[in-house]
Structure 1
Amino acid sequence: MSTTRRRFVQGTLAASAALSVMPIRVRGANDRLRIATIGMRARGKTHVDYVSDCRESHNAELVALADCDKGVLEDRLKWTEKEYKFKCEGVQDYRRLLDRKDIDIITIATPNHWHSLMAIEAIQAGKDVYVEKPVSHNVWEGRQIVNAARKAKKIVQTGTQSRSMHGMHKMIDYVHSGQLGKVKYAIGTCYKARKSIGLRDTPLDISDNIDYDLWCGPAAKVDLYRNSLHYDWHWDLNTGNGDLGNQGIHQMDLARWFCGHTALSPRVMSIGGRLGYKDAGNSANTQVVFHDYPGCPVIFEVRGLPANKEKFEKQSWGNGDMDPGPKNVGSIGVLVQCENGYMAVNSYHSGTAYDNNGKKIKSFSGGGNHMGNFLDAVRSRKHEELNADILEGHLSSALCHTGNISYVLGSKKPAAEIAAQIKSQPIQAESFDRMSQHLSHLGIDISKPVLTMGPQLDMNPQTERFNGNDDANKMLTRAYRGEFVVPDMS
């Protein structure tokens, strides 16, 4: 009998005890690892590619696909068999896969609001899990995956694949060895073209191929006034996390890694807005988030609009029309500023060290196999061997979430007032100045109160709770809907 929501809810109270005694099957090199993937649009298709790459080297096989969009599912089943000769069962409701004893691993490539609940359910069903970034839709539920994985002794990898790239490890080792001096701060950039998602007068008609109740899951089930259900959910904070939690999570993770931070920041502030058009989105498309770690802050810059007004007025503007990042960093990358130079990371696997005059010192590159690292750890049963263990994924995801919390709680102010309030933080002020110049090139008048300045939120990194701010603490989790409730695994 398949796992039902009723059984799941009834079993939640006993979950912790059950997880602690769940048997662990140690897999030998000759045991085939059988994998199912949930969510079969762009990232799910990439998961199939990953499994195929590991088919021979790691004795892995894809046996099932799930997607609540029957049209997408049917297309991917045909593609998977034609392209890779994987003969998979297809199910619209992923819960049909959880009780299958012949499935060892679940990979999750759904919209963000589903990541935590699916991961925990898979862990409770005895599976190891590969979950896309961000691993959570809010801070609290990300911590619950960590708790569930540790109690059940399950292997859970985050889809931040840069952590498995040899070039990235070389850059990390170079910086951490002190050859550029002490790390002073890191800036992540996500300057990626994000056009309007539309603003309809009437609700979007959802295809009969889609189980929309299941698609919404833990999120509020509401009418949509954008033009497309798929992908544009990123810009609706009910289901997505803006570009902080889309592309930006990769660079946020690298910035935190270079700085050596192993907990959430004690202070966070966001400044930004959704500018240039009026649409159904509510996430920022222009943003500076300042994580005030003592001695080594992490700054994140989001830009969804092109470099200037002339480019913006073109119908075909795209990623090639975006500004570059600071110094020698591209539109998507990480600047790691040290005492005697800096590292410019411009891809998932490569970058270059420079001195403070901009002279190139050394370049680094090298690929890797993130899924392969995960499957190796599945066999060894040692989560310490993971390059992107769920704890790392939780912390970096949570930095995106706390930045968005400050943004949502903010109020609109003129640029001069914002600049005056942050002038004591020179690194934050520099990022804000770059953003201000960018908006001026677009002809957006920020002398008026159009930018949202969020409050500085003080956090206890040990408890992952804000100090003295009830409104912010409420946003660390969400009101789950009906039967789709992330359980407390503490």
Structure 2
Amino acid sequence: MSKDASRRKFIRQSAAVAAGSALLTALPGSLRAGAGFAPSDQLNIGLIGCRNRGFDVLREHLAAGGVNCVALCDVDENVLNQRSAELQEKHGQKPTLYKDFRKLLDDKQVDAVIIGTPDHWHCLPAVYACEAGKDVYVEKPLANTIAECDLMAAAAKRYNRVVQVGQQQRSGRVWNDVMAYLKSGELGALRKTDIWANFNYGAGTQKVPDSGVPAGVDYEMWLGPAPERPFNQARFHGSWRHFWAYGGGLMTDWGVHLLDMAFWAKEITTPPPTVLAFGDNRGREDMARETFLTMSVVFPFDGYTIQWNHNGGIQKGPFNRNYGLAFICDKGTLVANREGWEVIPEWDGEAKADKTARKTFEETNNQSSLNHARNFIACVKDRKTPACPIETGRAVAVATHMANIAARTGAYRLDWDAAKGRFAHSKAANQLVRPDYRSPWKLPNV
């Protein structure tokens, strides 16, 4: 099946669906009333990208209940067969197996898809899924470039699809409690948020020479729209995120999760107007990577500043947490990560007392991923806005790409023109806004 033929088929399907009522258009096939179906029926899900995070997300959806996995797609037959066997053994489900996501999207029994591929493969499956009338759970970051983020948001809107972005902290108890406390006024005004992310894996993986493609792997399909490059295990499973063609390093991997909380605290829903960034790759030259080993970023807003720092190759950080956020307020600082949060009071010199109460909360039952799956399933059925809609995912993904672009080009400061979808006064930066897809893949028009 050619790419153009497949796309035309998607368009025909979308047109046919659009001819029905608005409700029937919105609801997935197996959830529509009539023909023996009720709105409470099982949701049929297909998974695109089965090796790691994608399958973890599928497990959460299965645990949430009300879900059948009817299709799996992966370019690695070894992964595909392993995951299929697990589904049959543990869940009694026998999904149809695909190595080409377009064929999965052509499967009429699939109501919704989970996209757990490397970042460079988020955009096309998501856009074509929306076009085919299927709802989407897409892992973070939303996409690997700014233009792809914009395109995915446009597709979700045009085709009226529910899209949940895998920023599951939005569904976690810790972060909802943090937001409620910050907005209660107990700490006064929020001035600044400091963010840090220190992870050993951020240094990359050990360098190895190029080698032959492993048996069962469709490497041409794995590359997809990315530039042609010889196979190398250090750029493949698990470590692809350290290379610009496929991912954005710690900045996009953990940046979207943590920046999302800094945005949420101030109800920021659009990309920042300005970024200042510096990235460095000196050190750990034995490791394979293109993305930055260390990075410092500032996002200045009106009356509020977000500052980000990351260090690959270490596993400790401020407040004895290797990652987290410090929300700096007038009366105290709230420090948080997924394990819990605490309030460190400011000292009132005149009153010789703390300005606020010291508080501590430890998370003992983190179910954010499960809650996020439950939320997506519910929203597919009732057509409500999910916990992390596509515009929320877009705002923080674009911010992380802005930071990487500023550091990669040496511009250090970039100003974003949201109306034009481009940077002001930087030709080099604007060349990195839109991906240069390798033929025959093309960035669709929506």
TM range, smaller chain: 0.7 to 0.9
Q: Secondary structure at the match of 2:241?
A: helix
Letter paired with 2:62 = S
2:33 pairs with 1:35? no
Fraction of identical pairs, as percent: 26
CA contact (8 A) 2:11 2:131 kept: no
Between the aligned partners of 2:376 and 2:320, the Cα distance in structure 1 is 30
Letter paired with 2:129 = A
Q: Pairwise mapping of residues 60-75 of structure 1 onto structure 2 (< 5 A)? A: 60-75=67-82
How much has 1:227 moved relative to structure 2?
3.5
Letter paired with 1:231 = G
CA contact (8 A) 2:137 2:163 kept: yes
Please list every run of 5 or more consecutive structure 2 residues that lacks an aligned counterpart in the other structure.
32-37, 348-353
2:61 to 51, 56, 80: 51
Q: 1:18 to 1:332 in 2, by over 3 A?
A: farther
Letter paired with 2:261 = L
CA contact (8 A) 2:240 2:246 kept: yes
CA shift digits 1:222-258 (9 cap, x unpaired):
1255645211111000111111111332112112212
Q: Pairwise mapping of residues 36-185 of structure 1 onto structure 2 (< 5 A)? A: 36-55=46-65, 59-185=66-192
Tell me the equivalent position of 2:344. Answer: 354
Between the aligned partners of 1:355 and 1:19, the Cα distance in structure 2 is 57
CA contact (8 A) 1:329 1:335 kept: no
How much has 1:149 moved relative to structure 2?
0.7
Q: 1:262 to 1:18 in 2, by over 3 A?
A: farther
Tell me the equivalent position of 2:309. Answer: 301
How much has 1:171 moved relative to structure 2?
1.1
Structure 1 vs Structure 2 CA RMSD: 2.4
Between the aligned partners of 1:458 and 1:329, the Cα distance in structure 2 is 34
Q: Secondary structure at the match of 2:86?
A: helix
How much has 1:353 moved relative to structure 2?
2.4
Please list every run of 5 or more consecutive structure 1 residues that lacks an aligned counterpart in the other structure.
307-321, 411-453
Q: Secondary structure at the match of 1:468?
A: coil
Q: 1:228 to 1:476 in 2, by over 3 A?
A: closer
CA contact (8 A) 2:193 2:328 kept: yes
Tell me the equivalent position of 1:371. Answer: 373
CA contact (8 A) 2:278 2:412 kept: no
CA contact (8 A) 1:37 1:108 kept: yes
Q: 1:13 to 1:376 in 2, by over 3 A?
A: closer
Q: 1:401 to 1:207 in 2, by over 3 A?
A: same
CA contact (8 A) 1:134 1:246 kept: yes
Tell me the equivalent position of 1:451. Answer: none
How much has 1:396 moved relative to structure 2?
0.9
CA contact (8 A) 2:279 2:408 kept: no
How much has 1:180 moved relative to structure 2?
0.8
How much has 1:63 moved relative to structure 2?
1.1
Tell me the equivalent position of 2:387. Answer: 387
Q: 1:90 to 1:14 in 2, by over 3 A?
A: closer
Between the aligned partners of 2:383 and 2:367, the Cα distance in structure 1 is 24
Tell me the equivalent position of 1:403. Answer: 403
CA contact (8 A) 2:269 2:391 kept: no
CA shift digits 1:191-227 (9 cap, x unpaired):
0002442334x42322131111110112112125564
Tell me the equivalent position of 2:299. Answer: 291
Q: Secondary structure at the match of 1:292?
A: strand
Between the aligned partners of 1:277 and 1:63, the Cα distance in structure 2 is 44
CA contact (8 A) 2:27 2:380 kept: no
2:9 pairs with 1:7? no
CA shift digits 1:302-341 (9 cap, x unpaired):
11123xxxxxxxxxxxxxxx2222xx36111111111111
Tell me the equivalent position of 1:473. Answer: 430
The range that moved more, 141-150 or 170-179, is: 170-179
Q: Pairwise mapping of residues 14-25 of structure 1 onto structure 2 (< 5 A)? A: 23-25=25-27
Tell me the equivalent position of 1:193. Answer: 200
Letter paired with 2:335 = A
Between the aligned partners of 1:78 and 1:270, the Cα distance in structure 2 is 46
Normalised by the length of structure 2, the TM-score is: 0.88
How much has 1:19 moved relative to structure 2?
9.1
CA contact (8 A) 1:170 1:364 kept: no
How much has 1:350 moved relative to structure 2?
3.1
Q: 1:61 to 1:13 in 2, by over 3 A?
A: closer
Q: 1:345 to 1:19 in 2, by over 3 A?
A: farther
Between the aligned partners of 2:12 and 2:402, the Cα distance in structure 1 is 31
How much has 1:376 moved relative to structure 2?
0.7
Between the aligned partners of 1:147 and 1:18, the Cα distance in structure 2 is 20
Normalised by the length of structure 1, the TM-score is: 0.80
Between the aligned partners of 2:185 and 2:14, the Cα distance in structure 1 is 43
CA shift digits 1:421-469 (9 cap, x unpaired):
xxxxxxxxxxxxxxxxxxxxxxxxxxxxxxxxx4200112344321121
How much has 1:53 moved relative to structure 2?
1.0
Q: Secondary structure at the match of 2:400?
A: helix
Tell me the equivalent position of 2:289. Answer: 281
2:275 pairs with 1:268? yes
Letter paired with 1:352 = E
CA contact (8 A) 1:226 1:280 kept: no
Tell me the equivalent position of 1:413. Answer: none
Letter paired with 2:289 = G
Q: Secondary structure at the match of 1:392?
A: helix
Tell me the equivalent position of 1:221. Answer: 228
2:330 pairs with 1:330? no
Q: Secondary structure at the match of 2:206?
A: coil
Q: Secondary structure at the match of 2:57?
A: helix
Between the aligned partners of 1:405 and 1:380, the Cα distance in structure 2 is 39
